[in-house]
Structure 1
Amino acid sequence: MQAAGLRYFLAVAREGSIAAASARLNVAPSAISRQIANLEAELACILFERRPRGMVLSPAGELLARHAREVLASADQVVTEIRELDGLRRGLVRVACTEAFAIDLVPTVLAEFHRRHPGIRFELSVLPPGQVTHRVVQGDVDVGITFSLSPSGDTAIAYRHSLDMVALCAPDHPLAGRERVGFADLAAYPIALLPRDTTLRTVLDVACAAEGVAIEPALTSNVLSALLPFVRRTRGLTLVSSIALQDQVGRGEFRALPIQSRRSLARGIEVQTMRDRRLPRAVQAFLTALVAALPPVRE
């Protein structure tokens, strides 16, 4: 089995179709289809079940996928160790994070790291929390930073901390001068929120129920950056982690208000890597820089 065939096979398994794998790899669909057919002929089995909504791994395909990840990870490790003989002048760091970290934190760390090590390349994927962890577990990315409501047991944790959410408003908002706000204060103004299937809404809904306050959002979006213009141009607010948009808050573009609540508004932050994997030197150096940029964890 050739490495190219295994890579194409894993891409189809991850994306769910040959067309999607083709777009991701920038390889002709016919080439991917041919490699899959060659693998199935070589192994004398069906690797994918073709369903109306896409291609799903068969039991034999699941077994091959586990083997292929190990083989390709081993091959990549050899290449990495050879390149590391050249120090931090070359390398690739693949990062996945949720959008809250992609607006300020991660790009800032990337830029500073690139300034010090211009030969290192980066790939950044912005994904929902669960997908970040999945990409780390599958070995598709080197480092993941995401929110979680409970510790992940499927990854190695380089950093874990719990941070409260805050209310974000424009600097001229009527509440902007307050040191702390309550849920009744928030309910008096239009709210822009992420959807209910997010960790933020899960924590918020529990806290609102405990306070006996109903908050019905005026705007809901699965993209945080789509909520910010609403907050800037109206008397609206949104809720974010206290670590999100720190640069904008520091520049005075927004005001971050602590929220008084009977229930905890904290969510866990995890920096994740693949369990039992020896990290390439460039990845380890970036991981150290990323953790250093996060709030210190008090013992």
Structure 2
Amino acid sequence: MQLRALLYFDELVRTNSMRAAAENLNVAPTAVSRQIENLEHFFGTALVERSNRGIKLTAAGELLAARAGRTFRELEHVHQLIDDLQGLQRGRVVIYANGATVANLLAPVLAQFSLRYPKLRFSVMITSARQAIEALAAAEADLVVTLFAPKMQGVKVRLRSEITYDLITWADHPAAGRPDIPLKEIAGLALALPDKSFGARQAFEEQFEKLGIDLDPVFVTGALEMLKELVLQKAAVTLLPALAVQREIEAGMMAAIPVAAGKGVRTTIDLCVAPDRQLSFAAGKLVDFIEGFMRGPSGRKPARTGSMSV
């Protein structure tokens, strides 16, 4: 079986048309058809069903399509590793992250890293935690950064660090100068929080429920920028990791007040890689850079683990 046949098949699956696949590959439709026939002969079964409406994959074709896509992604990864052996500092890193909060934490890291390695390119996909982990397993992602990640087998947690959610207010809010604030007092403030599909919101609900308090936020939104804007407009306060609004804090626009008595929501932020894939030069350097960023000026090292459920 030739790699060309798989390439033609992969393009046929992507376009769902012999003619469109041929145009994209710059060959005659008969060439695509011939390569598909070669594959069917090799596997001893039909892979596609042809009709005037296009093509439809058989069960065997569906199976091959899933594996072929991963095969090509792995070949691209091998190409990057070969480049690395030749000392070429170029390439692309695909990062999946869950939630706007994580994206906001990643942005300054990637900005600084890109200045250090200007030849590298980055794709950042914001999805749910489960979709991010599934993308890693399917070799669609090089790295995954998650909060409230689902438990899934076969994921290597490269680094782990704990973050705490503080009360985030505008700079001259009455609580802004205090060393901490009790949960009961927070419940009485005008709150802007994410909706209940978010892991952070579920954790907030659990914390307040222990005190017999029902959360009744004034604003509910899944957008981090909306949460921040509501605080800046002095319409509400919110609960976020201080790192997520570090720029606004440094600019004197916001303040972060810890929750009293250690009652703030804590969660781990995990950077995950696939246990059976060697990181490329670009991805490996980025992992090291993120670790340094998450360690912070205190020099505290995040927890490291091996392969585990996440």
Query: Residue in 1 aligned with 2:226?
Result: 226
> Partners of 1:93 and 1:294 in 2: how far apart?
19
Query: Residue in 1 aligned with 2:64?
Result: 64
> Partners of 1:74 and 1:255 in 2: how far apart?
45
Q: Does the Cα contact within 8 Å between 1:173 and 1:235 map onto a contact in 2?
A: no
Q: Secondary structure at the match of 1:267?
A: strand
Query: Residue in 2 aligned with 1:157?
Result: 157
Q: Secondary structure at the match of 1:216?
A: coil
Shift of residue 109, structure 1, vs aligned partner: 1.9
Query: Residue in 2 aligned with 1:6?
Result: 10
Q: Secondary structure at the match of 1:271?
A: strand
The Cα offsets for residues 52-106 of structure 1, whole Å up to 9 and x where unpaired, read as: xxxx998545632552244224312331123224425311111122311222x32
- Aligned-residue RMSD, C-alpha: 3.2
> Partners of 1:7 and 1:181 in 2: how far apart?
58
Structure 1 position 113 matched with structure 2 position 113: yes
The Cα offsets for residues 222-259 of structure 1, whole Å up to 9 and x where unpaired, read as: 11111111111124111113432223223322111111
Query: Residue in 2 aligned with 1:247?
Result: 247
The Cα offsets for residues 133-153 of structure 1, whole Å up to 9 and x where unpaired, read as: 222222112111110256653
Report the AA paired with residue 187 of structure 2: A
Report the AA paired with residue 140 of structure 2: D
Report the AA paired with residue 191 of structure 2: I
Instruction: Give runs of aligned pairs for residues 49-198 of structure 1, distance below 5 A.
Output: 60=60, 63-97=63-97, 98-103=99-104, 105-148=105-148, 152-198=152-198
Residues 292/262 of structure 1: CA separation in 2 closer, same or farther (3 Å cut): closer
Residues 65/209 of structure 1: CA separation in 2 closer, same or farther (3 Å cut): farther
Q: Secondary structure at the match of 2:294?
A: coil
Residues 77/68 of structure 1: CA separation in 2 closer, same or farther (3 Å cut): same
Residues 6/247 of structure 1: CA separation in 2 closer, same or farther (3 Å cut): same
Q: Does the Cα contact within 8 Å between 2:129 and 2:149 map onto a contact in 1?
A: no
Structure 1 position 297 matched with structure 2 position 302: yes
Instruction: Give runs of aligned pairs for residues 254-273 of structure 1, distance below 5 A.
Output: 254-260=254-260, 265-273=265-273
Structure 2 spans left out of the alignment, 5+ residues: 50-55, 296-300, 305-310
Report the AA paired with residue 3 of structure 1: L
Structure 1 spans left out of the alignment, 5+ residues: 13-17, 19-27, 48-55
Q: Does the Cα contact within 8 Å between 1:190 and 1:237 map onto a contact in 2?
A: yes
Report the AA paired with residue 44 of structure 1: A
- Aligned residue pair count: 273
Query: Residue in 2 aligned with 1:15?
Result: none
> Partners of 1:144 and 1:194 in 2: how far apart?
22
Sequence identity of aligned pairs in percent?
Answer: 22
Q: What is the TM-score with the length of structure 2 in the denominator?
A: 0.76
Q: Which moved more, 1:246-255 or 1:215-224?
A: 246-255
Q: Does the Cα contact within 8 Å between 1:189 and 1:235 map onto a contact in 2?
A: no
